[in-house]
């Protein structure tokens, strides 16, 4: 794949090139994609999420090789994938989107075990994306617990 297309996708249409908080800006794409697919069946949502994850692993790996740096901050396709995982099967509401966004960013930044070690131990595109998928799982479970507790 051509380097410019890889950079375009890996950086979330260049949102990841923001000088401050590129991961936060990149996660915005996750919110948008979640909103677009929210009206479809869980099977369609799952298929889209799986496709985004696989594409993210590929472009993150290609971009990492192109710039010779593992998990550069400008790579945000992993945040997009993680957010989609966190939001899977939740109804799209402003409250849910905001809650999941905040929780995902917290878990993505803190990288509680084993998320932090995934990025360090697994190389290539899978290593770049794996810690964000773990953060997405943590955020998704936490969001569901908070939604349940708030009734």
Q: Work out the angle between the directed axes of helices 77-87 and 94-110 (0-180°, nearest 10).
A: 130
Distance CA 147, CA 151 (A): 6
How does residue 1 score in pLDDT terms, banded at 50, 70 and 90?
A: low
Matching residue, tokens 């090139």: 17
Q: Which residue did the predictor score with more confidence, 115 or 128?
A: 128
pLDDT of residue 122: 83
pLDDT in tens, 6-34: 999 999 999 999 999 999 999 999 999 99
Count of domains for the chain:
1
What's the pTM?
0.94
Range of the domain at 122: 3-150
Give mean pLDDT, residues 81-91. Answer: 97
């Amino acid at each position: 794949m051509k380097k410019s297309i890889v950079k375009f996708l890996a950086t979330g249409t260049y949102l990841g090139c923001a000088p401050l908080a590129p991961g936060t800006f990149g996660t915005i794409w996750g919110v948008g994609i979640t909103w677009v697919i929210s009206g479809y069946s869980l099977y369609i949502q799952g298929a889209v999420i799986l496709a985004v994850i696989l594409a993210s692993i590929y472009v993150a790996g290609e971009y990492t090789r192109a710039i010779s740096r593992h998990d550069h901050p400008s790579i945000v396709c992993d945040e997009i994938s993680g957010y989609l995982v966190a939001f899977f099967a939740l109804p799209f509401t402003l409250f849910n989107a905001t809650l999941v966004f905040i929780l995902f960013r917290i878990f993505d930044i803190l990288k509680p075990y084993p998320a932090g070690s995934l990025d360090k131990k697994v190389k290539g595109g899978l290593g770049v994306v794996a810690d964000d998928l773990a953060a997405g799982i943590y955020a998704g479970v936490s969001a569901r617990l908070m939604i349940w507790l708030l009734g």
